[in-house]
Amino acid sequence: MSEAAPHLVISGVSKRYGAATVLERVDLTIRRGELVTLLGPSGCGKTTLLRAIAGLAPPDTGTIALAGRDVTHVPPHRRNVGVVFQNYALFPHLTVAGNVAFGLKVRGTPKAEIDLAVRRALALVKLGHLGGRRISALSGGQQQRVALARAIAVEPDVLLFDEALSALDRKLREEMQVELRRLLQEVKATAIFVTHDQDEALTMSDRVAVMNKGRIEQLAAPRELYARPASLFALNFVGLSTRIAGQVVGAQDGMVEVVTPVGRLSARGAFQPGASVIVATRPEQLRLGADAGANSAAGRVRSVVFQGSRTLVDVDAGAGASLLAELSGREAEVPRVHDEVRFAWPVAETFAFAAEAAP
Amino acid sequence: MMTRAAIVVCWVLAIGLALFLVLPLAVIAAASFSPTPVFDLPLSGASLRWYGRIGRLDGFWPSLFLSLQIALLSTALSLVAGTLAAIAIARGKLPGATALGTLLVSPLMMPGLVLGIALLQYFRMIGFTATWSALLVAHLVVTLPYVARTMIAGLSRFDFTLIEAARTLGCTYAGSVIRVMVPALAPSFLISGLFSLLASFDNYPVSIFLTDVRSKTLPIRMLQYIEEAPDPTLAALSTLILAGTLVLLLISDRLVGLHRMAGTAD
């Protein structure tokens, strides 16, 4: 099978619990070796989708194919998936090595092979020296690694991580994000992460699926997701932004003219004149001063927050509108609170979204 | 920080209390080796003659067998019923599960005497007069709470994600239960069985109302002996029961750790 061939194909998957629709006709195709994150707020269906892939919560409709095999109705124990659970779910009555060996033992793998695979998996997560330990004698970070080793040891077709890093403290989590990505690429694993943490999503994945109300709102590479959000929800959920409500007064070639409280703005988007929209841009697009041919707005500085490599400036643009600008550390001039300032930003980096979709 | 004096006081109290609890047992054990029918300190020698007399006590063997029979049987039944009930209560999303759990455990809070009288009257009312069966049912009422309480506690601590983890690693559902849930709950199972066994074996206040002249459980028979002939034979028997209990406790401690008995977690 080629590297680019579809490895996991989810099509038209829906799931309801009583009256609540948790997944609504979800389609998702993942290539072999790809790292994909399902990102969204709690209740968006991301965990349910992961459980559907694992076979723990079969979908009501739709199909799931893994490694060229329809597994929609295959029970979890015959799917060959590896799951790292949020609380790790390590077996307390077994040692570290016993946990890692579990999947292979169940499969009836010969003992010599099990020993080799356990040693390899533990070495991979740098716990080779702790094989004989009891689980209760490990730190949270070590338990996380054991859970990973246990899932990897069975050489699954896909690795599934259910908020697997969320129980670690911030510093450890950030270290693990980088290390985990490197490790997964090393073993050429196909992996799906479920998280509500946008930093984790952007750091770990080749592609991010932003989920909302049981649907995938956008599936894109992290950079594209940030620069070209497909919906107001995606814009809000990943990164900071300036958002101004207005009405479309002109439309042409995928661009709209919008009247807003801060003035006329041009934005990318296809809307009929008269439509209510939200005009948005990313904070690092804003530059101090006016610029012909660019969008611009003026106001009074409300706050200035210095964050080391960058400075965030919040501007009250009047009529309830505000601008958020991010100035890099190299910027010579940084405004002070109460200064009257004007910011400009490129039309090509301005987007219009339907207003009624506002969360 | 505790002061030195406070620590000393604590230890003195703890040791004093332990002595207060254990000394009578030590006296019984000492008395069982007395060479004379009347226990007198200091001992004028040691003898096993009273141990030899235990087996010749009138009605001893039938009583011992009856007690063992009832204890083992009621424990076995309680383990099965109590575990199943605990699963339903801790996991089954039953309406009123908490109330049901409290109800199951409630005989523990009842004075045995009251329970005994109530059962006697009830059994008479419904015409349930077979002594052996009545005794077994009564002991079920006594032992079930021990099993239910311990198993509900054990199950509510059990993380059901472990079952899912085992399933994704290649276990069937049944296999996951056997490989993961059974080992995790084995300590609770063992401990509740032990509690239940002891509770049944030395039960007096409930049994007294349900036994008749021909079938008496061991504790009742022992009280009768003491009324008839207070010699050290009973001390010898008590010492044997004590030793048996100690052996059971030691085995349990080896297997699962006694700290779990109090319901305190690992």
Residue A54: closest CA among A176, A151, A179: A151
Closest residue, chain A, to B185 (C-alpha): A93
Is the model's pLDDT at B265 over the cut of 60? no
pLDDT, one tens digit per residue, over A232-268 is 999 989 989 999 999 999 898 889 999 999 889 999 9
Whether residue B10 lies inside any domain: the answer is no
Report chain A's terminal Cα–Cα distance, integer Å: 42
Question: Residue A332 has what pLDDT?
Answer: 64
276-335 in chain A: CB under 8 A from chain B: none
Q: Residue B178 belongs to a domain with what CATH number?
A: 1.10.3720.10
Range of the domain at B135: 58-262
Residue B40 forms part of a structural domain: no
Assign 3-state DSSP to chain B and report helix, strand, coil percentages, each to 5: 75, 0, 25
Can you tell me the mean pLDDT for B146-169?
Answer: 92
Q: Is the pLDDT of residue B45 over 80?
A: no
Q: Tell whether B2 is covered by a domain.
A: no
Other beta carbons within 10 angstroms of residue B173's beta carbon come to 14
- Say whether residue B3 is in contact with chain A using an 8 A CB cutoff: no
> Is position B251 within any domain?
yes
Per-residue pLDDT averaged across B82-104, rounded?
87
List the single residue in B161, B173, B183 with the smallest CB-CB distance to A89: B161
For residues B74 and A139, give the distance between their C-alpha atoms in angstroms, rounded to a whole number. Answer: 43
Tokens of B29: 């054990």
Mean predicted confidence (pLDDT) in A130-146: 91
Q: With an 8 Å Cβ cutoff, are B159 and A106 in contact?
A: no
Cα A97–B251–B24 angle (5° rounding)?
Answer: 145
**Measured between alpha carbons, how far is residue A126 from residues A131, B47, B70 in Å?**
11, 65, 55
Q: Of A116, A170, A177, whose CA–CA distance to A148 is shortest?
A: A177
Of A103, A109, A84, A153, give the one whose Cα is nearest residue B175: A103
**What is the reported pLDDT for A356?**
65
Residue ranges and CATH numbers for the domains of chain A are 6-235 (3.40.50.300), 240-357 (2.40.50.100)
Tokens of A288: 């101090």
B138–A contact, CB cutoff 8 A: no
A90, A147, A174 from A141: Cα distances, Å: 13, 10, 12
Task: Say which residues have a Cβ less than 8 Å from residue B61's Cβ, sequence separation at least 6.
Answer: B55
Question: What is the pLDDT at residue A25?
Answer: 93
Each residue's pLDDT tens digit, A62-106: 999 999 999 999 999 999 999 999 999 999 989 999 999 999 999
Cα dihedral across residues A199, A201, A202, A203: positive or negative: positive
pLDDT in tens, A189-241: 999 999 999 989 998 999 999 999 999 999 999 999 999 999 999 998 998 99
For A56, nearest residue in chain B (alpha carbons) = B164
User: What pLDDT sits at residue B258?
Assistant: 61
**Rounded to a whole number, what is the distance in Å from the CA of A35 to chain B's nearest CA?**
20
Question: What was the pLDDT predicted at A273?
Answer: 92
Q: Do B159 and A87 touch (CB under 8 A)?
A: yes
Separation between Cα atoms, residue A290 and residue A204, nearest integer Å: 38
- pLDDT given for residue A4 in this prediction: 61
Counting every residue, how long is chain A?
359
Q: Which of B159, B164, B171 sits opposite A106 (nearest CB)?
A: B171
Mean predicted confidence (pLDDT) in A334-353: 91
Residue B38 lies in a domain: no
pLDDT value, residue B28: 86
Asked if residue B114 is part of any domain, the answer here is: yes
Note the Cα A111 to chain centre separation in Å: 39
- Answer whether residue B41 is part of any domain: no
A-B contacts at Cβ under 8 angstroms: 64
Q: Which of A66, A74, A83, A143 to mutate to test the interface with B (most CBs of B within 10 A)?
A: A83
Question: Looking at A71-80, A127-136, B7-16, B253-262, which range is the least confident one?
Answer: B253-262
Residue reference for tokens 């661009």: A255
Q: Note whether residue B159 is domain-resident.
A: yes
- The number of distinct structural domains making up chain B is 1
